[in-house]
Structure 1
Amino acid sequence: MNARTLIVPVAALALLSGCTMGAGAPTDVALDPDAEVSGEITVWSWDVAATALDRLGDEFEADHPDTTVNVVDVGYDNAYDKLSVGLQAGSGLPDVVTIETDRAPGYINEFPTGLVDLTPVLGDAEGDFDPFKWSAQSDADGALKVAPWDSGTVGLFFRTDYFDQAGVDPASIETWDDLIAAGETIKATTGHTLLSIDVSTGGAFQMLLQQQGIGLFDEAGDITITSPEAVEALTLLQTMSEKGLLKNVKGWDGRVTSAKDGDSAATAEAVWWIGTLQGDAPELSGKYGVTELPAFEQGGARTTNNGGSGLAVPAQAKNPDLAAAFVEYVLADADHQASMMVNEGLFPSYLPALKDAYFQEPQEYFGGQPVYELFAEQTANIPAITFTTDNAEASDIVANAVVAAVLNGADPTTTLQDAADQIATATGREIAE
């Protein structure tokens, strides 16, 4: 659900290889949105997501007599192994599965008949969902194959004590140039760097790309990382590094430790970072605030996405109509989505849920700031981007390019051109003009 889950399991590599599989899967499963549902379904998920589905499963059963919802916490490490094998074999999967947003396009493209089109049930509510999630989890024909669940809306978390000590007003930061200038002042005054990131993953670079409405590929499937936007994003990271404003940390634990130790003044991260701070650094309560992500230019997008997931109904589901009804019940209901935020910390992709009073409540950890309100306002503004089955391989190549430019001082334009050439050779895709 979040940045902790970045490793592609070995058994899933076949999914990303570029050859279509799953010929044995059932096809042409047409949902009946008016069906009288009954019977039993099995749902696969993990961690707090499984907890939320189990809780709402009990409510669904109470509202729908003669139904049973069995939620199985399959564990994150096993989930994608089981899903890949089941889709390829055409058997062995439950009625509902959880799929993260960045993985959804790979499954949708490689197994075009493996997941049920949920549009007959959820299509009328398309305008009520985070548009990025809806787009990323639909196929090329616009069929919704994975229903949006939680969003990874990104904001700028900042240490109020560092900003105050340096005399920097966070409200004055509107662009990345503003933030760099603030970072120089903060470092000169407090000795702290501006941001702590794991350069080796390339994740910060991809977040900056999406903020500009760019993915690693465009709608035609061509490689985009030689674009002016990509060069600007990598140059930004390199500039911050050259000015001594970046602390390079290793992995998830490194990021959390850096935050606890107070190494840096700010963190550009998704809304779920709130839970990480509260859980891992309770001693920093009252020392954090949140504002919008700086824009690349005045009037530009001030958010991006990192993380989030959805629910899908495999075509081999034994009770697809009941499965789809449960997905609709959980995800296309403002009260249910809001309850998952309150109880399990899952930030809704369903926009009507963001009007719940909970999102306006002051949060003690953030000095009484109603931080969820900011993320609620920005979720509908997340730029949509295109994913392909080659995103995983391209991400590895791009990560090496980011390291070369940010840590080793390589020219961003040349480095990205080299990376694009490598991706083209590896995937057979064209480089966008």
Structure 2
Amino acid sequence: MSKRFKKSFSGIFATVILTSLVLSGCGGSNDGDAKGSSGEGQVTLSFETSLYAEAPHKKAIDALISTFNEKNPNIKITVHGTDYENFWDKLTTEVIAGTEGDIVQVYPENISTYHSLISGGAFVNLDPYIKGKDFETQLVGQDLSKVGDSYYAISNYAWGTTGIFYRKSLFEKAGIDPASVKTLEDFKNAAIKLGVDTNNDGKLDQYGFASVVGSHPFVSSEWARLVARPVSGGIFFPNGEAAPYDADHINVNSAANIWAATWWQDFIKNEKATPPGTRDKKVGREMFWNGQAAMNMDGPWFIGMTAETDAKLMDDLGLLAQPVITYEGKEYKPNPTMYPSVAMISKGSKHPEEAWKFLEFMTTPEAQKIISGSGMIPSNKEFVATEEYQKENPLAVKFFEFQDTLYAPAVMDPPIPEQGALSQIMVDAAQDIFLGKKDAKAALDVAADKMKESFNK
């Protein structure tokens, strides 16, 4: 899942000016409503989310909204989004033009970036609804939903971190015990062993790992989550992407990150380990489902996606923790990012109280049960702790076990306005290294210079 801008701000403004002329003053989906937050009349709210592009999420979100609309006939929730990769560009343009949805669902590292696009902030301060309430302790990722000391989002949908999904039948055929894949070298050796010519025609038609090598933003996130961040502490800043966030502390071209990029570059060029050619995450997932790739890096949402694609595949779906890495004689535990989906209320919404009512409903056991159908792990800790949930979602529960016993604390992207620009620079550098096959040190040195410049604009 990318959570970053695909364009620079300067490249966006020309589009924004034209868009503003057409859309300014439109006020989202609520201009036709005769009544405001008094509770009288019909209120229509728009829910903007990137997740709607994926079938399991669409099914869950449709059911969630339908249930709420039935309980609250005077409040109608509509949803709009776009494909995942283009959602973030669209949202940037909309926020600047003031035409974003009443409710906008993002990830914690996006909050500050989008909030800061408008002088005085684009979204409602949610402290009155959240501070001092059970939400602060009951919702996974709520502590990540702040700008400064105030909450601007609620973690009310679901979350996930990442692991390595594998096809049990392909591992068995290759004679690989999944329990033996514990280190980065184990992972590499298994991937190479799983790359075979099943038709005996001199051409490989099965690969070990469905890596992303192309224009998709995952081209940077996979190597970062699997290799770089565990050994370097941070792609953008050291010590777990910790402050101070300034040009003097850019970490992208550290020795550990250069080593990690070089290792990954060598790994993906192995014709047995990864498929050749340019591809995105969608293609990699399809290769996994089709049996052309034996492993795929993903989060709990992939469970729901797999069930939606072919329920029969569920019996062949296994899950490994991300591997331990040895670098310069020291072992490093994996520390993959945790991805809670959080929701904000636009300051431009004419009905913030009704919007909050929907967001609060999403935290209830009834709504969380609906959300669990997406494959991701619902945010309400009490709901997830129930015997019913754990019995019905054994693979998802494994992610809890990984976090408790095998993973170091998750490292998140820096929650700063500049993060969109930094992320795009990282994507560009990853494409140069892994697709363009440029020298890792040279490419990351260039990236470091560009990141430093972004703080001086």
Shared fold, TM over 0.5? yes
Match of 1:43, SS state, is strand
Structure 1 residue 423: Cα displacement: 2.7
Paired with 1:185 and 1:79, the residues of 2 have a C-alpha distance of 38
Match of 2:362, SS state, is helix
1:126 maps to 136
Structure 1 residue 405: Cα displacement: 3.1
Contact 2:319 2:395 survives alignment (8 Å): yes
Give a deviation string over 1:76-101, Cα, whole Å, max 9, x none. Answer: 269767754554355x5554333345
Equivalence map 1:87-98=2 (5 Å): 87-89=95-97, 95-98=102-105
Structure 1 residue 346: Cα displacement: 4.5
> Are residues 328 and 236 of structure 1, via their aligned partners in 2, closer, same or farther at CA, if it must alter by over 3 Å?
farther
Structure 1 residue 154: Cα displacement: 0.9
1:172 to 170, 180, 191: 180
1:109 to 112, 116, 131: 116
2:361 to 306, 323, 329: 329
Greater Cα shift, 377-386 or 69-78? 377-386
Structure 1 residue 293: Cα displacement: 1.6
Structure 1 residue 197: Cα displacement: 1.7
1:68 maps to 74
TM-score by length of 1: 0.76
Residue 375 of structure 1 aligns to which amino acid in structure 2? F
Structure 1 residue 427: Cα displacement: 4.7
Match of 2:150, SS state, is coil
Structure 1 residue 279: Cα displacement: 2.8
Percent identity, please.
Answer: 19
Contact 2:220 2:426 survives alignment (8 Å): yes
> Are residues 299 and 50 of structure 1, via their aligned partners in 2, closer, same or farther at CA, if it must alter by over 3 Å?
same
Paired with 1:117 and 1:144, the residues of 2 have a C-alpha distance of 6
> Are residues 174 and 315 of structure 1, via their aligned partners in 2, closer, same or farther at CA, if it must alter by over 3 Å?
same
Greater Cα shift, 251-260 or 206-215? 206-215
Matched, 1:230 2:235: no
Greater Cα shift, 260-269 or 98-107? 98-107
> Are residues 128 and 287 of structure 1, via their aligned partners in 2, closer, same or farther at CA, if it must alter by over 3 Å?
same
Contact 2:182 2:324 survives alignment (8 Å): yes
Residue 110 of structure 1 aligns to which amino acid in structure 2? L
1:158 to 154, 158, 166: 166
Paired with 2:304 and 2:165, the residues of 1 have a C-alpha distance of 12
Match of 1:202, SS state, is helix
> Are residues 398 and 126 of structure 1, via their aligned partners in 2, closer, same or farther at CA, if it must alter by over 3 Å?
same
Paired with 1:169 and 1:16, the residues of 2 have a C-alpha distance of 55
Size of the aligned set, in residue pairs, is 395
> Are residues 295 and 285 of structure 1, via their aligned partners in 2, closer, same or farther at CA, if it must alter by over 3 Å?
same
TM-score by length of 2: 0.72
Once superposed, what is the RMSD of the aligned Cα atoms? 3.9
Structure 1 residue 242: Cα displacement: 4.4
Q: Which segments of 5 or more consecutive residues in structure 2 lack a partner in the other structure?
A: 28-36, 53-57, 199-203
Matched, 1:296 2:303: no
Contact 1:207 1:306 survives alignment (8 Å): no
Match of 2:163, SS state, is strand
1:340 maps to 371
Contact 2:8 2:421 survives alignment (8 Å): no
2:194 maps to 186
Paired with 1:391 and 1:15, the residues of 2 have a C-alpha distance of 18
Contact 1:225 1:416 survives alignment (8 Å): yes
> Are residues 316 and 106 of structure 1, via their aligned partners in 2, closer, same or farther at CA, if it must alter by over 3 Å?
same
Paired with 2:12 and 2:261, the residues of 1 have a C-alpha distance of 31
Contact 1:41 1:323 survives alignment (8 Å): no
Matched, 1:349 2:352: no
Equivalence map 1:237-256=2 (5 Å): 237-244=264-271, 245-248=273-276, 249-256=278-285
Contact 2:413 2:419 survives alignment (8 Å): no
Residue 323 of structure 1 aligns to which amino acid in structure 2? A
Q: Which segments of 5 or more consecutive residues in structure 1 lack a partner in the other structure?
A: 27-35, 62-66, 364-369
Equivalence map 1:13-412=2 (5 Å): 14=12, 38-39=39-40, 40=43, 42-45=45-48, 47=52, 48=58, 50-58=61-69, 60-61=71-72, 68-76=74-82, 84=92, 87-89=95-97, 95-101=102-108, 103-111=110-118, 112-123=120-131, 124=133, 125-131=135-141, 134-135=143-144, 137-139=145-147, 141-148=148-155, 149-187=157-195, 192-200=206-214, 201-208=219-226, 209=228, 214-217=234-237, 218=241, 219-222=243-246, 223-244=250-271, 245-248=273-276, 249-282=278-311, 284-296=313-325, 300-302=332-334, 304-305=336-337, 309-331=341-363, 333-342=364-373, 344-361=374-391, 370-378=394-402, 382-407=410-435, 409-412=437-440
Give a deviation string over 1:108-146, Cα, whole Å, max 9, x none. Answer: 232352211213322333233333x642x321x121212
Give a deviation string over 1:226-251, Cα, whole Å, max 9, x none. Answer: 23442343233123124442224412
Give a deviation string over 1:138-194, Cα, whole Å, max 9, x none. Answer: 21x121212223223211101212222233222222222221233344347977432
Residue 216 of structure 1 aligns to which amino acid in structure 2? F
Give a deviation string over 1:394-421, Cα, whole Å, max 9, x none. Answer: 3333233323433555443333122211
Paired with 2:359 and 2:443, the residues of 1 have a C-alpha distance of 44
> Are residues 362 and 339 of structure 1, via their aligned partners in 2, closer, same or farther at CA, if it must alter by over 3 Å?
closer
Match of 1:254, SS state, is helix
Contact 1:114 1:315 survives alignment (8 Å): yes
Structure 1 residue 11: Cα displacement: 9.8
